[in-house]
Amino acid sequence: MSTDYVIVGAGSAGCAMAYRLSEAGRSVTIVESGGTDAGPFIQMPGALSYPMNMRRYDWGYTTEPEPHLGGRRLAAPRGRVIGGSSSINGMIYVRGHPLDYEHWADSGASGWSWSDVAPYFRRMENWHAGIHGGDAARRGHDGPLHVTRGKRDNPLVKAFVEAGREAGYGETKDYNGNRQEGFGPFDATIWKGRRWSAASAYLRPALKSGRVRMVRGEAARVVIEEGRATGVALGTGEVVQAGREVILSASAFNTPKLLMLSGIGPAAHLAELGIEVVADRPGVGSNLQDHLEMYIQYAATQPVSLFKYWSLLGKAYVGARWVLGRQGPGASNQFESAGFVRSRAGVRYPDIQYHFLPLAVRYDGKTAAEGHGFQCHVGPMRSPSRGNVRLTSADPAEAPSILFNYMAEEKDWEDFRRCIRLTREIVAQPAFDAFRGAEISPGTEAQTDDELDDVIREEVESAYHPCGTAKMGRRDDPGAVVDPDGRVIGLEGLRVADSSIFPRITNGNLNAPSIMAGEKIADAVLGRAPLPPEEDGWWEARDWQSRQRESDPVR
Whether 395 is in a domain gets the answer no
**What pLDDT does residue 364 have?**
63
Residue 339: strand, helix, or coil: strand
Catalytic, 465? Answer: yes
Q: What CATH number did the domain enclosing 100 receive?
A: 3.50.50.60
* Prior bond of 98 cis (ω within 30°): no
Chain centroid offset of residue 169 CA: 25
Pair (494, 368) in one structural domain:
no
Residue 146: strand, helix, or coil: strand
Q: Which of 443, 459, 475 is the last residue of a domain?
A: 459
**What pLDDT does residue 365 have?**
60
**What pLDDT does residue 535 have?**
87
Expressed in angstroms, the distance from the first to the final Cα of the chain is: 67
- In contact, 506 and 97? CB cutoff 8 Å: yes
Pair (347, 239) in one structural domain:
no
Pair (102, 165) in one structural domain:
no
For 89, phi then psi, to 5°, come to -85, -175
Pair (261, 133) in one structural domain:
yes
Whether 553 is in a domain gets the answer no
Residue 165: strand, helix, or coil: helix
Of all helices (H) and strands (E), which one includes residue 294?
A: strand 292-300
Pair (341, 258) in one structural domain:
no
**What pLDDT does residue 552 have?**
83
β-partners of residue 514 are: none
Distances (CA, A) of 271 to 182, 284, 336: 50, 14, 49
Residues in the chain: 555
What letter does residue 148 receive in the DSSP assignment?
B
Whether 546 is in a domain gets the answer no
**What pLDDT does residue 138 have?**
93
Whether 402 is in a domain gets the answer no
Whether 131 is in a domain gets the answer yes
Pair (474, 350) in one structural domain:
no
- In contact, 40 and 217? CB cutoff 8 Å: no
Q: Name the pairing type of β-strands 373-380 and 292-300.
A: antiparallel
Distances (CA, A) of 473 to 106, 107, 139, 166: 10, 7, 28, 42
β-partners of residue 337 are: 185, 356
For 66, phi then psi, to 5°, come to -80, 115
- In contact, 217 and 118? CB cutoff 8 Å: no
**What pLDDT does residue 369 have?**
60
Out of 97, 291, 355, 465, pick the active-site residue: 465
Condensed to tens digits (0 to 9), the pLDDT of residues 517-537 reads: 999 999 999 999 999 999 889
Q: Name the pairing type of β-strands 228-234 and 2-8.
A: unpaired
- The structural domain count of the chain equals 2
Pair (414, 519) in one structural domain:
no
Whether 543 is in a domain gets the answer no
Question: Residue 77 sits in which domain range?
Answer: 1-146+188-288+466-537
Chain centroid offset of residue 547 CA: 29
- Other beta carbons less than 10 A from residue 439's beta carbon: 18
Pair (223, 246) in one structural domain:
yes
pLDDT along the chain (555 residues), means of 10: 92 98 98 95 94 92 98 97 97 98 98 98 91 83 96 96 97 96 97 97 97 97 98 96 98 98 98 97 98 96 93 92 95 97 98 96 66 96 98 97 98 98 98 97 96 97 98 97 98 98 98 98 98 94 94 74
Pair (48, 100) in one structural domain:
yes
Pair (118, 164) in one structural domain:
no
Q: What CATH number did the domain enclosing 445 receive?
A: 3.30.410.40
Residue 89's Cβ-count burial label (10 Å; 0-12, 13-18, 19+) is buried
Whether 397 is in a domain gets the answer no
Distances (CA, A) of 297 to 78, 187, 247, 374, 422: 26, 23, 42, 6, 14
Pair (61, 131) in one structural domain:
yes
Whether 392 is in a domain gets the answer no
Pair (194, 304) in one structural domain:
no
> How are the residues of the chain apportioned to helix, strand and coil, as percentages rounded to the nearest 5?
30, 25, 45
